[in-house]
Amino acid sequence: MAKKKSKFLSGKRIDPTPIDKNTALADLIDESFMAYNAARLREACQLFTKKMLEPDVTIGVTLTGALTPAGLGISALIPLIKAGFIDWIISTGANLYHDTHFGIGLELHQGDAKLDDRILREEEVVRIFDIFFDYSVLLDTDEFFRRLIEHDEFQKTMSSAEFHYLCGKYILERSKTLGIENKSLLAVAYEYGVPVYTSSPGDSSIGMNIAAKELQGGKLILNPNLDVNETASIVLAAKRGVISNSDDGKSAIFILGGGSPKNFALQTEPQIQEVLGIDEKGHDYFLQVTDARPDTGGLSGATPAEAVSWGKVDPDKLPDAVVAYVDATVALPLITAYALARQEPREPKRLYNRRDEFMKLLQSEYEKSTRR
């Protein structure tokens, strides 16, 4: 009598198609990324493309690490926005500052990370690992932001989303004057109505220049309270089906790296449930690309299972969660290419213009809460 096959042997047989010169990238990922972190990256590509890109899902992306100076804003994030695959963003201020270099016609170059930094300092060359640029790039970008925030429309308290939207408008205008297209994430986010938040407004050269202008009487204040509530309202609107105009909307979080943007995106659900007392269960889809480890605290509160205990992730959706322990500069281009090859573009949700609507929803549900 033949031995009954174990249910644990139901996975796809490891028998990949040999790679040849005609192998397409998406096919390579599906057929050759069979095990270890390659398999997690395959799962990430498939989760993003097959489930997170469904029409009723609203996708928030978080950015940490020096991704934009490495060109990933241009090569990956902008194509994802233009395809309707990113609906809202939380980023470090540094990524948005360095993104601006490209939009105003400044140059960054590949370099050699082994060079003596004392020599680079003498040559007025700034280094981000193996990315080199002239010191004047910083000075010119600082000057751009200082002149920008002198405009009357900046002389008030606002959310970081409103600030970045206005910045994107002016970066787009400068890009058009220079004959530059699709080089700045902020400019394209402005065009497509993608709200862009930063979790630490003072922690970048943009914040430093805002602080400097305040010393001269500038009235611009980025209010983190607005950001906390606006991001929570986006998630609530997604889950209530307001964004997708459906009975069963979903929220997905795509985390590149970790840090403060990661927590700021994930805390939207505890803000809704724990603080505001609104009935909710957590994000539906969780995708993280990271090289951090949970046992050292680098992923504190942010592995999918641990996030369930905080109410950040819906426990019923835990199987739809993937962590790929891969450098984001490797994973993001592959995920982007895979998604663009396997999925048709979605209609942009243009969430920026609906922020007031979402805040009214959050306010109305909070008014019914016993936590007030």
Q: Are 336 and 76 in contact (CB under 8 A)?
A: yes
Q: Are strands 88-91 and 57-63 parallel, antiparallel or unpaired?
A: parallel
Choose among 288, 302, 298, 261: nearest CA to 37.
Answer: 288
**pLDDT interval class at 3 (50, 70, 90):** confident
Model confidence at 306: pLDDT above 90: no
Tell me the average pLDDT across 148-160.
97
CA–CA dist 357, 372 (Å, integer):
21
Q: Are 289 and 328 in contact (CB under 8 A)?
A: yes
250 domain-assigned: yes
Catalytic residue (choose from 183, 239, 250, 312): 312
Model confidence at 305: pLDDT above 90: no
Choose among 327, 65, 355: nearest CA to 197.
Answer: 355
Give strand ranges (E) for 175-275. 196-198, 221-222, 250-256
What is the H or E stretch that residue 229 is in? helix 224-239
Predicted confidence at residue 33, as pLDDT, reads 96
More confident residue, 248 or 118: 118
Helix axes 224-239, 160-178, angle to 10 degrees: 90
**pLDDT tens-place string over residues 210-269:** 999 999 999 999 999 999 999 999 999 999 999 999 888 999 999 999 889 999 999 999
Tell me the average pLDDT across 10-26.
93
**pLDDT tens-place string over residues 270-304:** 999 999 999 998 999 999 999 887 777 777 666 77
**pLDDT interval class at 313 (50, 70, 90):** confident
CA–CA dist 118, 123 (Å, integer):
9
Tell me the average pLDDT across 126-148.
97
22 domain-assigned: no
More confident residue, 11 or 167: 167
Instruction: Please state the domain count of the chain.
Output: 1
Does 312 qualify as catalytic in the annotation?
yes
Handedness of CA 196, 206, 191, 360 (dihedral sign): positive
Say which residues have a Cβ less than 8 Å from residue 152's Cβ, sequence separation at least 6: none
**pLDDT interval class at 1 (50, 70, 90):** low
186 domain-assigned: yes
What is the H or E stretch that residue 59 is in? strand 57-63
- The pTM for the full model equals 0.94
For residue 128, the domain's CATH number is 3.40.910.10
90 domain-assigned: yes
Q: What single-letter amino acid sits at 338?
A: Y
Retrieve residue 172's tokens.
């787009």
Domain of residue 108 covers: 35-367
Residue 210 backbone class (left: φ over 0; alpha: ψ -120 to 50; beta: rest): alpha
224 domain-assigned: yes
**pLDDT interval class at 188 (50, 70, 90):** very high
What is the H or E stretch that residue 133 is in? strand 131-134
Model confidence at 369: pLDDT above 70: yes
9 domain-assigned: no
Q: Are strands 250-256 and 321-324 parallel, antiparallel or unpaired?
A: unpaired
Retrieve residue 128's tokens.
């981000």
Predicted confidence at residue 304, as pLDDT, reads 75
CB atoms within 10 A of CB 212: 14
Taking only Cα atoms into account, the Rg of the chain, rounded to an integer number of angstroms, comes to: 22
15 domain-assigned: no
Would you call 207 helix, strand, or coil by DSSP? Answer: helix
100 domain-assigned: yes
Predicted confidence at residue 307, as pLDDT, reads 75
Retrieve residue 313's tokens.
């992730």
Q: Are 370 and 279 in contact (CB under 8 A)?
A: no
Predicted confidence at residue 294, as pLDDT, reads 78
Scan for tokens 């201020």, then name that residue. 93
